[in-house]
Structure formats: C-alpha cells, structure tokens
C-alpha cells in the first residue's frame, strides 16, 4: 500500500471510530460495523468522508448510515448546530419565542422531528412540535403566527421514498438565506458530538417547554383561507356544476384538503381512494411527484368514473399542486406549472381588493428566472410591479417579505415546478391554498359555461401567447455535468466563448447570455449579472434573436440537468401552433448540439 493510500485509510479509520463513538446505541452504528467486517472500504469512504452540507434548502438526501445520509446522528448534529447558532445570536429572553417543528409521513420523519426538538429543549428554547403529520406550509404559517425564531419541517417533499429532508425557515416565515446557511453549517461542525440526553425523546412529552400547536394553528390556517375568498362573486351555478377529483399522492393532505373544501362550503369532491391515506412507500407511483408522467393515471380513472372534469393533485407534503381538466373534446389536459401560474396570476389580480388596485404600482408579483414570464407580461398591461428572482421559493418569499416591509401589497408568486404562493399568509409555496383558489376559479368559469382552459386562452389573448417546453435529464456523475457546462462556456475550444447561434437548417442567432455561475451577463453594460450568483451550481440562460429564452441548470436537490425554454408571441390565435412547433424544434436542436445526453451519459426523464 502506497504512503498516500495509507494516509487515506488512516483518515477513514479515524472517521469510522468517530462515527461509532457518536452513534453509540444507534442502529446505524451496526451498519457501519457490518461494512467494516465486510471490508467495504469504498462504501465507507463514500458515506463517512463527506457529509450532507447544510444549504439554503436545509438538508435533503437518502436515508442510511454515515455522514452523507439522513439518519438520527446527522439530524442530532444538524439540530445541535442550529440550536447553538440561535443561542449565539438571540437574547436569553427571546428563547421564549420558541421554534416550531413538524414532519410528514415518510419513514423516520416523526423521530427526526422529535430528535430535533430535544436539541432545542436542551438549550432552553420553547418548542412547538406538532403531534401529527402536517402539510409543509403549516410550518412557515406557524412561524409567523406564533412569532417564532425558526421553523423546521422534516420532509423530502416529492423525492423518492428512501429520501428525507430537514427544511429550515427563519423568523420572517421564509426559508433561510445566506449568511445564515453558512453560519449554521459552521455551527454544526462545532457541535458534532451528541449532547447529554440528545437521544431522550421522552422530553418532548414531559418537558414544560414543549407544546403541541396543532389545534390552534389548524384553526388559524383555515380561517386565513377566507382572506382571498371571493364566493360572493361566484354564481351558485358554478359550484353546483363543478365536481373535483383530488389526490394526496399517499401524503399528508387528504384530511387537510377536506377541511379546506368545507371552509368554502364545497362538498362535491371525490378522493382518489388508492392514494388518500398516508403511506411512506408511495405504492401506486414510481415517483411521488404529480409532475411526473403517469402519476395522475389513477386520478384520471377516478374522475372519469365519477363524472368529474377537474383534478387537483398535491405532492406528498402538500406544498405543490398539479391541475388537470377534461376539455370539450373529451381529452384530459394536464396543465403545466407555467399555465397554472398564468391562471392564478390573472385570477388573483382580477379578485384583488379594489382599493389596492387603485395604486397598481404598489402591488407586486414575483416569479423565478426559470419560470414563464407571464407575470411580467400581465404587469406591463395592468401596471403592478413585477420582480424576478433566482430559482426557489427561498428567494421569492424573501423578496415578497421585503416588498411588504416597504408597504407594498404582495399578491402572488410562482415557480414552474408547480409551486404557488397565493397571498402573504404563507411565505412559501402552498398546495392547499392554491387548490382553493383553483376551486373558486373553476366555479367562476363553469358558472359562465366556460372551462379553465378558456380562461387561459383569454389570458393569452390579452397578455400574449406564452408557450414553454421544460424537462430534464438524470446524471449521477458530477464531473460529466461540469464538463458539459464548461464546454458551453468555452465553445468550440475558445475560452470564455459561448455559442453564438444554435445550429439547424436555419441557425438561430443568440443575442445574449447570462451565466449565474460565473456572474457574466452580456446584456448588461458592465457585463455583470444583476441576480445573485453561485459558483456551487450551474445555470446559463441564452437569449435568442427570435424571442426564445432557454436556461440550462443543475438541480439543487436532485441529480438532474434541467432545461427551461419559452417563446412569447403577440400573434393571432391561429398562429399559436406554429410558435409552439418552432419552440420544440429549437429544444430538439439544443439537446442534440448543447446538452448531448448520449455523449455525456445523461439518462432521459422516466416515462
């Protein structure tokens, strides 16, 4: 064995002993011992020498042993780091403001939540820990209503069943931003050894500092749904002609959606029975993500059998919403996230308080850089203020918070990945709140003998036709992903040279490039991007002469290379199909010449 290999093995042996010390009495210590016995040093190297890094989305990863996975020890270390960081930056009396913690129905979620609570209790913080599974939006809602210091939600959202996550909200009710993420990560590394009694989850039941907020928060949440309720403007005929099929996708939302419908006095709904009860195995779907193909098959079958023409589908933690509608030709249309964003943006502006609309510039909507620019187009006609942010609700929610602090009226934010923030009560995406708005919108449409599809068409006629084509490739090799992006940044072997056109029968000229990894933006006078940049992720946007915008980026939570494209055209309706055809042609060429999945070993999106 070479000296270098001996050094690596010595470092690994130290990590093994450290983990076994810290994880003493935990089941994952037995897993590590078994790997040592089997001499699986390559596996041990992978799971012990790197650890899940706390970022602006918290933690998310596969459950298993080691530092690079979600398990009891990593949860304890993360919670100790967060609790210690809070203790450093707040006064002692502020500990009474407390933290709020909840969890979804995945394997280990409740235990992870309880272990998290113990860390805060040991530091003297008041802890509000939910006694039962809740939707993720309940945590940011509770942070604001209870004036808490932070919120923690244990969930992996729509990820595969073997994953779990740890999502953190700051005192403003929005997900954390830098520098808190970096400071928390540093604090975690200073608090790796479990504190005395760190495993004593009985403290959750017996500590006088632990409270269950479920009843109060649930009541406040449902009461808040009425804030943007507009039933007085909808004919009773709309509700009587509307039947909705809804699914919880084996997650938390079934009982919560039923109560939300009751708040609207809407009773004509049909659940997808095979998916209505929480089940951490998500047995009827390959991926518990309503965006994925075939995830709505059971919903469509249920709707057809019940004579329902509208489907509302939550993801497992109920922060996202998919929508499908049976059209006049009898075919089902599954709305994209951008289409639902267009519908909700138009609708929420329509029903906004008249007094607020007297000063439209003081009202705002927000969307992310990879989402449709439909809100921008609406703002150009209606006069409200539009903001674009980086990808993720951590950016959009904090932008909304800043706007409200300036006295503005925040109306709506969305991201193409079926996430919608309707109003300011929850500063994060909320699939239940969005579902209630879609219910009211559909009732309004049906009362006029129209469909949601007609409302979308009317939006395009007024604000311009917006068509998008988004998808992704799977890649577990970070080096291959980096190589692809480096090739785009040094095209044809020329350093810092981006593609000047997209090859085809008639090449499509590129008139601008924005690279939020390097901070380059050719459309700015100083060639510096306005949006925040990060060298830890890849994201390049190309602006074409014909108006097309295309972004290629990596995912922050999944092993994916994603692409987002959109064409905006103010042309007669009869030309819309030609615009759509042109966009799809450009996407095909972009995949062939720029992404090159076969050459880079990328796997196609599962069908």
Q: What is the reported pLDDT for 157?
A: 93
Q: What is the reported pLDDT for 18?
A: 96
Across residues 402-410, what is the average pLDDT?
Answer: 97
pTM of the model: 0.94
Query: Is residue 149 a contact partner of residue 171, using CB atoms and an 8 Å limit?
Result: yes
Give one DSSP letter per residue of 43-76, joined into a string: HHHHHHSS-PPPBTTBEEEEBSSSTTSBSHHHHH
Which residues, in sequence order, are CB contacts of 526 under 8 Å at separation 6+? none
CA–CA gap between residue 489 and residue 514 (Å, rounded):
11
- At 8, is the pLDDT very low, low, confident or very high (cuts 50, 70, 90)? low
Q: What is the reported pLDDT for 369?
A: 94
Across residues 111-123, what is the average pLDDT?
Answer: 98
Q: What percent of the chain has pLDDT over 70?
A: 98
Query: Is residue 456 a contact partner of residue 339, using CB atoms and an 8 Å limit?
Result: yes
- At 7, is the pLDDT very low, low, confident or very high (cuts 50, 70, 90)? low
CA–CA gap between residue 409 and residue 61 (Å, rounded):
37
Average pLDDT for the chain: 94
Across residues 513-540, what is the average pLDDT?
Answer: 94
Contacts by residues 454-462 (CB-CB < 8 Å, ≥ 24 positions apart): 455/343, 455/346, 455/347, 456/335, 456/339, 456/342, 456/343, 457/573, 459/342, 459/343, 459/346, 459/374, 459/378, 460/342, 460/573, 460/576, 461/573, 462/381
Which of the four CATH numbers 3.60.15.10, 3.30.310.50, 3.40.30.10, 3.40.50.170 does domain 465-604 have? 3.30.310.50
Which token pair is 429?
A: 């995406």
At 148-170, the pLDDT tens digits run 999 999 999 999 999 999 999 99
Domain ranges across the chain: 1-49, 55-221, 241-463, 465-604
3-state secondary structure of 152: strand
Q: What is the reported pLDDT for 238?
A: 63
Q: What is the reported pLDDT for 438?
A: 96
At 553-589, the pLDDT tens digits run 998 777 899 999 999 999 999 999 999 999 999 999 9
Across residues 543-555, what is the average pLDDT?
Answer: 95
Phi, psi dihedrals of residue 214, rounded to the nearest 5°: -55, -50
- At 234, is the pLDDT very low, low, confident or very high (cuts 50, 70, 90)? confident
Active site members: 157
* 231 has pLDDT over 80: no
3-state secondary structure of 432: helix
- Of the two residues 375 and 231, the one the predictor is more confident about is 375
Q: Closest Cα to residue 595, out of 538, 544, 556?
A: 538
3-state secondary structure of 341: helix
Cα 169 from chain centre:
13
Which of the four CATH numbers 3.40.50.150, 3.40.50.300, 3.40.120.10, 3.30.420.40 does domain 241-463 have? 3.40.120.10
Domains 55-221 and 465-604 share a fold: no
Q: What is the reported pLDDT for 233?
A: 72
Q: What is the reported pLDDT for 236?
A: 72
CA–CA gap between residue 390 and residue 393 (Å, rounded):
9
At 312-326, the pLDDT tens digits run 999 999 999 999 999
- At 504, is the pLDDT very low, low, confident or very high (cuts 50, 70, 90)? confident
Q: What is the reported pLDDT for 514?
A: 97
Give one DSSP letter per residue of 242-277, joined into a string: --EEEE-TTSSHHHHHHHHHHHTT---EEE-GGGSS
CA atoms within 13 A on the CB side of 386: 19
Q: What is the reported pLDDT for 5?
A: 59
The CATH number of 55-221 is 3.40.120.10
490 CB neighbour count, 10 Å cutoff: 13
Across residues 32-58, what is the average pLDDT?
Answer: 90
Q: What is the reported pLDDT for 368?
A: 96
Give one DSSP letter per residue of 2-49, joined into a string: -HHHHHHHHHHHHHHHHHHHHTTTSHHHHHHHHHHHTT-HHHHHHHHS
Which token pair is 321?
A: 């919403």
At 88-108, the pLDDT tens digits run 999 999 999 999 999 999 999
At 464-482, the pLDDT tens digits run 999 999 999 999 999 999 9
CA–CA gap between residue 380 and residue 403 (Å, rounded):
19
């Amino acid at each position: 064995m070479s000296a270098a290999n001996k050094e690596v093995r010595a470092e690994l042996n130290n990590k093994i002993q450290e983990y076994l010390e810290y994880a003493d009495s935990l089941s994952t210590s037995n897993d590590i011992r078994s790997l040592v016995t089997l001499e699986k040093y390559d596996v041990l190297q992978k799971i012990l020498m790197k650890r899940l890094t706390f970022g602006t989305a918290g933690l998310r990863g596969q459950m298993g042993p080691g530092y690079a996975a979600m398990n009891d020890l990593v949860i304890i270390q993360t919670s100790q780091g967060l609790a210690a960081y809070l203790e450093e930056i707040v006064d002692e009396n502020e500990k009474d403001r407390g933290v709020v913690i909840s969890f979804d129905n995945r394997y280990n979620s409740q235990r992870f939540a309880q272990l998290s609570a113990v860390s805060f209790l040991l530091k003297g913080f008041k802890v509000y820990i939910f006694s039962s599974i809740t939707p993720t939006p309940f945590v940011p809602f509770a942070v604001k209503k209870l004036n808490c210091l932070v919120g923690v939600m244990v969930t992996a959202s729509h990820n595969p069943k073997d994953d779990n996550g740890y999502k953190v909200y700051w005192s403003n009710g929005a997900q954390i931003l830098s520098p808190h993420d970096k400071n928390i990560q540093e604090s975690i590394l200073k608090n790796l050894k479990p504190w005395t009694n760190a495993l004593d989850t009985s403290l959750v039941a017996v500590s006088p500092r632990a409270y269950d907020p479920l009843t109060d928060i649930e009541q406040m949440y449902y009461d808040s749904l009425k804030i943007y309720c507009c039933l007085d403007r909808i004919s009773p005929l709309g509700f009587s002609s509307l039947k909705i099929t809804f699914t919880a996708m084996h997650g938390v939302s079934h009982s919560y959606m039923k109560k939300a419908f009751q708040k609207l006095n809407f009773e004509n709904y049909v659940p997808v029975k095979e998916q209505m009860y929480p089940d951490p195995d998500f047995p009827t779907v390959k991926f518990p993500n309503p965006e994925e193909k075939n995830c709505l098959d059971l919903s469509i079958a249920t709707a057809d059998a019940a004579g329902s023409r509208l489907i509302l589908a939550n993801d497992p933690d109920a922060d996202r919403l998919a929508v499908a509608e049976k059209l006049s030709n009898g075919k089902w249309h599954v709305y994209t996230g951008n289409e639902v964003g267009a519908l909700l943006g138009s609708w929420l502006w329509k029903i906004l308080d008249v007094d607020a609309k007297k000063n439209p510039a003081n009202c705002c909507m927000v969307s992310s850089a990879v989402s449709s620019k439909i809100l921008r187009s609406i703002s150009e006609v209606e006069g409200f203020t539009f903001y674009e942010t980086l990808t993720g609700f951590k950016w959009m929610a904090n932008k909304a918070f800043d706007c409200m602090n300036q006295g503005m009226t925040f109306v709506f934010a969305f991201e193409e990945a079926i996430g919608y923030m309707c109003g300011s009560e929850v500063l994060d995406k909320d699939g239940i709140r969005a579902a209630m708005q879609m219910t009211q919108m559909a009732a309004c449409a049906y009362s006029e003998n129209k469909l949601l599809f007609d409302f979308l068409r009317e939006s395009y006629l007024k604000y311009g036709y917006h068509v998008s084509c988004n998808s992704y490739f799977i890649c577990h090799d970070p080096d291959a992903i980096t190589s692809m992006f480096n090739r785009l940044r040094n095209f044809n072997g020329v350093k810092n040279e981006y593609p000047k056109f997209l090859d085809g029968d008639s090449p499509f000229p590129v008139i601008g490039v924005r690279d939020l990894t390097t901070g380059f933006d050719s459309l700015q006078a100083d060639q510096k991007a306005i949006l925040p940049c990060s060298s830890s992720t890849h994201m390049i946007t190309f602006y074409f002469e014909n108006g097309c915008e295309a972004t290629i980026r990596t995912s922050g939570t999944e092993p994916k290379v994603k692409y987002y494209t959109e064409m905006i055209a103010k042309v007669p309706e009869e030309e819309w199909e030609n615009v759509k055809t042109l966009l799809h042609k450009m996407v095909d060429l972009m995949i062939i010449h720029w992404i090159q999945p076969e050459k880079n070993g990328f796997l196609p999106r599962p069908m």
